[in-house]
């Protein structure tokens, strides 16, 4: 077990320098209080005051093999010692090997890998490829989605963080994807939700003009927006619609990919396995140890750029350190059965425990997910499903969720919180004991959320 080694003085200095000079993402700079982190190992991290936390967030849902896995750390050290960096136009062992290992695991004929430094750049390039491949301008994406924060990716994103920076010029049209608990289609069951969502997508395409639509982008299982597993038939229905209209189907697996759902890719779960034309990945590909993302490309789209240059690239595309980390991560996931562990712990421990919490706690409106990818919808009232805090609440209005978060931390659990939801997204190699420890802490924290139920 990793042991915290308290050193409050160092912690205070780290914090002071952070507050003086680090400009944090998504934050009002003077209203935040970031924890100074001293170290991390496996499923835990700790601060300088001797507090240790079980990380039910996997960072930002990326440490799929936990922190500081010795084999991956060693692979990064070895790569640094032999070839720390090299420009993208060369064939480099770590890059070739990472591409091979990724292509072997992505669905169908997605056999060519374009490397980026993260998820948003993968989305940028996937949509660019789709536009060039089809010669069409528009991309359709779902409300209640997250695709990244660069210019095109934030315009595709269907959540309130888009609003301040959406310039409306990116050729993006939003549509509603299925979400039975808060059904945009007033459906009463999954089958109805699926049928109505597909009809709505057909209608959107008809009114936009199919000949104007390059791509439809969807998260296989939308993550940040609430882990909404699609109903049976939905993704295969979208695949069929795309085929019929010559539209490129992009599945964004930045969060759901690389073991998170208990299979290598979330697309593998649904309707006998979905094969998109482009698949974006990042995060879990190397557990976030070194920034890496990419696009897996079908043979048909690769063919478009066989004799015509692809107009896009990044200085650090396929950076050797990041690729060496990916090779080591994928090998560790195979050797240690980490994808299988995510499926087993998800099915045997987390699913039944969360179902039981939902029954016992008045604040838990719904539990949904799979593998190591779960969301609890916290509500004021189970009947009306009114969220425990209003959409996009800050300050006093967000107090019930803040109280829930503080209670979890007091129990030694670091929770993932988004609006009125908490997500259970621990490392995919979490042990049974750790999972049970986290669930017990969650139980206690939910009792605090219960106090805010009306």
Q: Does 257 bind ligand PLP (CB under 6 A)?
A: no
- In whole angstroms, the minimum distance from the beta carbon of 239 to ligand PLP comes to 18
Among 54, 251, 254, 297, binds ligand PLP (CB under 6 A): 254
Nearer to ligand PLP, 143 or 245 (CB): 143
Q: Does 118 bind ligand PLP (CB under 6 A)?
A: yes
Among 46, 53, 146, 404, binds ligand PLP (CB under 6 A): 146
Return the SS3 of 58.
Answer: helix
- In whole angstroms, the minimum distance from the beta carbon of 38 to ligand PLP comes to 25
Q: Does 119 bind ligand PLP (CB under 6 A)?
A: yes
User: CB–CB of 329/418 below 8 Å?
Assistant: no
Q: Does 260 bind ligand PLP (CB under 6 A)?
A: no
Task: Give the strand pairing for 172-175 and 138-142.
Answer: parallel
- Phi and psi at 13, nearest 5°, equal -70, -40
Calpha distance 406→388 (Å, rounded): 16
| Span interacting with ligand PLP, options 20-28, 143-151, 200-208, 345-353, rule CB under 6 A | 143-151
Distances, alpha carbon 27 to alpha carbons 23, 24, 30, 161, in Å: 8, 6, 8, 11
- Phi and psi at 214, nearest 5°, equal -80, -45
Q: Does 237 bind ligand PLP (CB under 6 A)?
A: no
User: CB–CB of 178/150 below 8 Å?
Assistant: no
Nearer to ligand PLP, 156 or 448 (CB): 156
User: CB–CB of 372/57 below 8 Å?
Assistant: no
| Span interacting with ligand PLP, options 161-169, 250-258, 319-327, 409-417, rule CB under 6 A | 250-258
Q: Does 94 bind ligand PLP (CB under 6 A)?
A: no
Q: Does 405 bind ligand PLP (CB under 6 A)?
A: no
Nearer to ligand PLP, 116 or 298 (CB): 116
| Span interacting with ligand PLP, options 2-10, 91-99, 112-120, 127-135, rule CB under 6 A | 112-120
Cα angle 258-179-159, degrees, rounded to a multiple of 5: 75
Nearer to ligand PLP, 282 or 339 (CB): 282
Among 107, 223, 231, 318, binds ligand PLP (CB under 6 A): 223
- In whole angstroms, the minimum distance from the beta carbon of 12 to ligand PLP comes to 30
113 torsion bin: left (phi>0), alpha (psi -120 to 50), beta (else): beta
Calpha distance 112→382 (Å, rounded): 47
Among 120, 247, 297, 419, binds ligand PLP (CB under 6 A): 120
Calpha distance 249→126 (Å, rounded): 10
Nearer to ligand PLP, 117 or 398 (CB): 117
- In whole angstroms, the minimum distance from the beta carbon of 203 to ligand PLP comes to 25
Q: Which residues of 416-451 are buried (b: 16+ CB within 10 A; e: fewer)?
A: bbbbbbbbbbbbbbbbeebbebbbebbeebbebbbe
- In whole angstroms, the minimum distance from the beta carbon of 450 to ligand PLP comes to 30
- In whole angstroms, the minimum distance from the beta carbon of 165 to ligand PLP comes to 14
In the chain the first and final C-alpha atoms are separated, in Å, by 41
Q: Does 252 bind ligand PLP (CB under 6 A)?
A: yes
| Span interacting with ligand PLP, options 79-87, 252-260, 294-302, 316-324, rule CB under 6 A | 252-260
Nearer to ligand PLP, 160 or 209 (CB): 160
Distances, alpha carbon 153 to alpha carbons 118, 122, 219, 334, in Å: 12, 9, 13, 32
- In whole angstroms, the minimum distance from the beta carbon of 268 to ligand PLP comes to 16
Distances, alpha carbon 347 to alpha carbons 14, 224, 403, in Å: 40, 21, 29
- In whole angstroms, the minimum distance from the beta carbon of 386 to ligand PLP comes to 27
Calpha distance 407→260 (Å, rounded): 26
Calpha distance 73→395 (Å, rounded): 40
Q: Is 362 exposed, middle or buried (0-12, 13-18, 19+ CB in 10 A)?
A: middle
Among 11, 148, 158, 387, binds ligand PLP (CB under 6 A): 148
Q: Does 152 bind ligand PLP (CB under 6 A)?
A: no
Nearer to ligand PLP, 63 or 363 (CB): 63
Q: Does 427 bind ligand PLP (CB under 6 A)?
A: no
Give the footprint of ligand PLP on this chain (CB under 6 A). 60, 118-120, 123, 146-148, 219, 223-224, 252, 254-255, 282, 293
């Amino acid at each position: 077990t990793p042991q915290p080694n308290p050193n409050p003085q160092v912690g205070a200095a780290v914090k002071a320098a952070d507050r003086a000079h680090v400009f944090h993402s998504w934050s009002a700079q003077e209203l935040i209080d970031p924890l100074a982190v001293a170290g991390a190992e496996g499923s835990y991290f700790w601060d300088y005051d001797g507090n240790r936390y079980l990380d039910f967030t996997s960072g930002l849902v990326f440490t799929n093999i936990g922190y500081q896995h010795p084999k991956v750390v060693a692979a990064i050290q070895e790569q640094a010692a032999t070839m720390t960096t090299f420009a993208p136009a060369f064939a480099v062992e770590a890059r070739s090997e990472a591409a091979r290992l990724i292509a072997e695991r992505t669905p169908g004929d997605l056999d060519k890998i374009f490397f980026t430094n993260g998820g948003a750049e993968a989305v940028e390039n996937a949509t660019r490829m789709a536009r060039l491949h089809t010669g069409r301008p528009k991309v359709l994406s779902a409300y209640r989605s997250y695709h990244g924060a660069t210019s095109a990716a934030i315009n595709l994103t269907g959540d309130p963080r888009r609003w301040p920076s959406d310039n409306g010029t990116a050729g993006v049209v939003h549509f509603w994807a299925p979400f039975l608990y808060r059904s945009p289609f007033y459906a009463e069951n999954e089958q109805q939700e699926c049928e109505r969502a597909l009809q709505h997508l057909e209608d959107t395409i008809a009114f936009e003009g199919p000949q104007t639509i390059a791509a439809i982008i969807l998260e296989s299982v939308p993550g940040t927006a609430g882990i909404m597993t699609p109903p049976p038939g939905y993704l295969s229905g979208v695949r069929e619609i795309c085929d019929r209209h010559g539209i490129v189907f992009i599945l964004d697996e930045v969060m759901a990919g690389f073991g998170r759902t208990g299979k290598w890719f979330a697309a593998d779960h649904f309707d006998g396995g979905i094969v998109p034309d482009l698949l974006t990945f990042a995060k879990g590909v190397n557990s976030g140890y070194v920034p890496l993302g990419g696009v897996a490309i079908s043979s048909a789209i690769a063919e478009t750029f066989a004799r015509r240059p692809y107009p896009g690239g990044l200085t650090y595309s396929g950076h050797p350190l990041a690729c060496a980390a990916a090779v080591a991560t994928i090998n560790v996931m195979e050797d240690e059965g980490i994808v299988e562990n995510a499926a087993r712990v998800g099915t045997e421990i987390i699913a039944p425990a969360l179902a039981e919490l939902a029954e016992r706690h008045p604040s838990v409106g719904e539990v949904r997910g799979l593998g190591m990818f779960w969301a609890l919808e916290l509500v004021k009232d189970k009947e009306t499903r009114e969220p425990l805090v209003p959409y996009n609440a800050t300050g006093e209005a967000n107090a019930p969720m803040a109280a829930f978060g503080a209670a979890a931390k007091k129990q030694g659990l670091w929770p993932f919180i988004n609006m009125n939801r908490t997500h259970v997204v621990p490392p995919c190699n979490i042990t049974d004991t750790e999972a049970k420890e986290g669930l017990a802490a969650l139980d206690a924290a939910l009792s605090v959320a219960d106090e805010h139920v009306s």
